[in-house]
Structure 1
Amino acid sequence: MIKIKLFMVLAVSLILNSCHGQKNKNELQPSTSVKKLEENTLNTKNEEYSFFSDFNNQISQVVRTIFQDSQGDIWFGGEGGAFRFSHNSLTHIDSIRSKSGKRVTIKDIAEDNDGKIWFGHTDGISSIDGNTVTNYYESDGLISNDVWSIAADKNGKIWVGTIDGVCIFNGQKFTEFVLPEGKIDTTLGISSTKMVHSIFEDSKGTLWFSSNAGLFSYANNSLTNVSKEVGIQTNFVNEIFEDNNGELWVSTKIGLYNITNGKAKNITNGKIETGKGIGSIAEDKDGNLWFVSNQHSLYTYNKGILIEYKKAENNKGPVVFQIFKDQHNRLWFVGFGGAFILENGKFINVTKNGPW
């Protein structure tokens, strides 16, 4: 499943250190009504988005991530927690909570080999197995409660990227995976030398870590600094994406790179304003690559042609955190403002009442 997200940060840490993981279980208690979201990050009174007919009816006023599982259910991660769209019904998963019982902000979602859904969030990680929610915290062995990325590999291990590096969960215990230390991105409100904001397993089974120390790959028990090998000219790597042809694309602070024949080429260098960098990447059904630049600008790229997608004044869509292609080849754009589908060149706002 392709995951794509716009970021707010990065970082990492390879040597295996262990601690025991205990489980904090709650029964899944779905509710179709969603309480007022906690005041958290973005100003929801932003005048730029005052054209929404009912801003408070969004799935979440800030949708950080979207994921579709193997059963076709769509999961949304937002400031109010996790939401699942299944059998024409949207449900809020209320049992994903911090250790003190507060709601969390979901930042990443993954599915393991057994169909269990995993969430990385502001207060640890959580899983849903059938009707049971299990929450894990630092007290269970997690290296940090401040989680930015999560992935499940083909061997059943769960990889967790945090503000303090990476750890692996095998279902029983957490083990630290040490990556080289990087730099703090001073242009962001939250950053660290060990931040990892994307973990991805490609079609060949290679794991990729996007961090504040660069881009790293891990295969056959060997860690490689790919940034140095291919010539990525920045420490700050946000995400790596594999297209339908197996080509790799890397979003960074200074542009979008394509890795071909062991070399990285910055295809946006001198062509667009990057500002806070390139964010989420996705590919549509026609093979066009979509990506976000500087949080507000959308571009497509295909066969050397770079085109900016111009938003109409009355159809701006969200400030995009993630672009995602679902199993029906629809492109979703989620972020500040809620969730949207792009159809016939127009952003369709998907609220708690649809349209689905």
Structure 2
Amino acid sequence: MQRTSILTSAWLLAGPLFVLHACQAQVTTSLEKPAQADSTATMINAADTAQLSAYIVAAFEDSKGNLWFGTVGDGVIRYSPQPSVVLGERLMYFTTADGLADMVSSSIVEDKQGHVWIGSHDGATRFDGKTFTAFKTPEGLHGPGCVLLVDRNGTLWAGTNDGAFRFDGTRFQPFDIPMPTIKEPSHKWVKGKVWEIIEDSKGNIWFGRDGYGACRYDGRTFTHFTKEDGLCSNNVASITEDVNGNIWFGSITSDFPPIKEGGLSRYDGTSFTRFEDVKGLTANDIYTVYALRSGQVWVGAVGVGAYRYDPSTALKTDGSAFALFDRTERPELTRYFGVQAVLEDTKGTLWFGFSGGLFRFNGTLFENVTRGGPWGDH
């Protein structure tokens, strides 16, 4: 465990950042006027049984009860269950034609003003209910692959291939995270990429990074956790906190150099537990870890299935605490079993974004949700 103490009265600014591809200036697009014929704010017929998208990579419920789903290639999807919304407008697709920064929408959050933010491959987009405003390189948000967090103070954080950023109300400012010492360097994609940002119950901000493990920031001090401390690899793609305050880490394998590592680990504030006896969790890519209000934790294991962890057997590490669910209504769509997103909505419904489409968990298997449902409202 490595610590770096930083006393700051102002935000930390990083040095020059390498821009991987050109971005356009800030763009604001309003939906206040009726959509034109070429608009892609598409209203979907409720009877349509087609898949929402081939890849559902983000899921979020806003304060109004709308469900949002991020896709790869189809922009962002909003489902509005409110009775006041006419049936033909309950399911809508928003794309770059409507003002999205990019067609890949991999992260969705809501700020304290009720604006929905969408993190994408090329920047972030703010939606105030009528207008989409895109933030890209000219607005300070460098690097592809944007993940987002709104913390308890209302601060908007972003992570990309180029590191971490904070939004000052107008533009994004670089937030410099110190680099820990890694004895055997390796990474999956881009060294230093921020895969994940969460806030824990104590107000700490956690960053999951490519090649540098996890970093905890308490407002003054950076504490680094690496494979030597107990992570399954230094490539941390997913982080969540359970109801008991444990921090869970989903690690992924390395490509540079190729190393068969990765897996699931848990930090109780003092020590790490690796779940190395669970088939499918050892030396595998764990891109999704999600804690429920009940204390259960869902873990997506690529190519294997989704594991549900039972906290009543929390002291066990032999695998008996984990139940594997690997059956879906549409196995031909989910043969690779890539769980990309999990959401527990306010009614307790569990939504799963797969490489293959959207599914709901019915207690036994994953049932496919098409454009026509079943939504269950929810």
Task: Name 1:151's counterpart in structure 2.
Answer: 149
Which one of 24, 27, 49 corresponds to residue 24 of structure 1? 27
Task: Name 1:185's counterpart in structure 2.
Answer: 187
Question: Which structure 2 residues correspond to residues 94-105 of structure 1 after superposition, within 5 A?
Answer: 94=95, 95-98=98-101, 103-105=102-104
Once the two structures are TM-superposed, the CA of residue 325 in structure 1 deviates from its matched residue by: 1.1
For residues 349 and 120 of structure 1, do their structure 2 counterparts lie closer, same or farther at Cα, with a shift above 3 Å needed?
A: same
Could you report, residue by residue, the CA deviation over 1:160-198 in whole angstroms, capped at 9, with x for unpaired residues?
111111111111222111224585535xxxx10121111
CA distance in 2, matches of 1:262, 1:228: 15
The root-mean-square deviation of aligned C-alpha atoms, in Å, is 2.8
For residues 90 and 195 of structure 1, do their structure 2 counterparts lie closer, same or farther at Cα, with a shift above 3 Å needed?
A: same
Q: Percent identity?
A: 29
CA distance in 1, matches of 2:347, 2:323: 24
> TM-score scaled by structure 1?
0.79
Task: Name 2:352's counterpart in structure 1.
Answer: 333
Question: Which structure 2 residues correspond to residues 118-133 of structure 1 after superposition, within 5 A?
Answer: 118-133=117-132
Tell which deviates more after alignment, 247-256 or 285-294.
285-294
Once the two structures are TM-superposed, the CA of residue 152 in structure 1 deviates from its matched residue by: 1.3
Once the two structures are TM-superposed, the CA of residue 327 in structure 1 deviates from its matched residue by: 1.1
Could you report, residue by residue, the CA deviation over 1:19-66 in whole angstroms, capped at 9, with x for unpaired residues?
9x97421103532159xxxxxxxxxxxxxxxxxxx9x81111111111
Tell which deviates more after alignment, 240-249 or 279-288.
279-288
Code of the aligned partner of 1:355 = P
Q: Secondary structure at the match of 2:290?
A: strand
- Would you say 1:278 and 2:286 are equivalent positions? yes
- Would you say 1:83 and 2:77 are equivalent positions? yes
CA distance in 2, matches of 1:22, 1:156: 25
For residues 205 and 309 of structure 1, do their structure 2 counterparts lie closer, same or farther at Cα, with a shift above 3 Å needed?
A: same
Question: Which structure 2 residues correspond to residues 191-270 of structure 1 after superposition, within 5 A?
Answer: 191-212=189-210, 213-227=212-226, 230-253=229-252, 254-269=262-277
Gaps of 5+ in 1: 1-13, 35-53
> TM-score scaled by structure 2?
0.75
Q: Secondary structure at the match of 1:205?
A: coil
Greater RCO (CA < 8 Å, at least 6 residues apart): 1
For residues 243 and 61 of structure 1, do their structure 2 counterparts lie closer, same or farther at Cα, with a shift above 3 Å needed?
A: same
Q: Determine if contact 1:234/1:252 at 8 Å carries over to the other structure.
A: yes
Tell which deviates more after alignment, 167-176 or 25-34.
25-34
Aligned residues: 313
Once the two structures are TM-superposed, the CA of residue 312 in structure 1 deviates from its matched residue by: 6.1
Question: Which structure 2 residues correspond to residues 1-16 of structure 1 after superposition, within 5 A?
Answer: 15-16=12-13
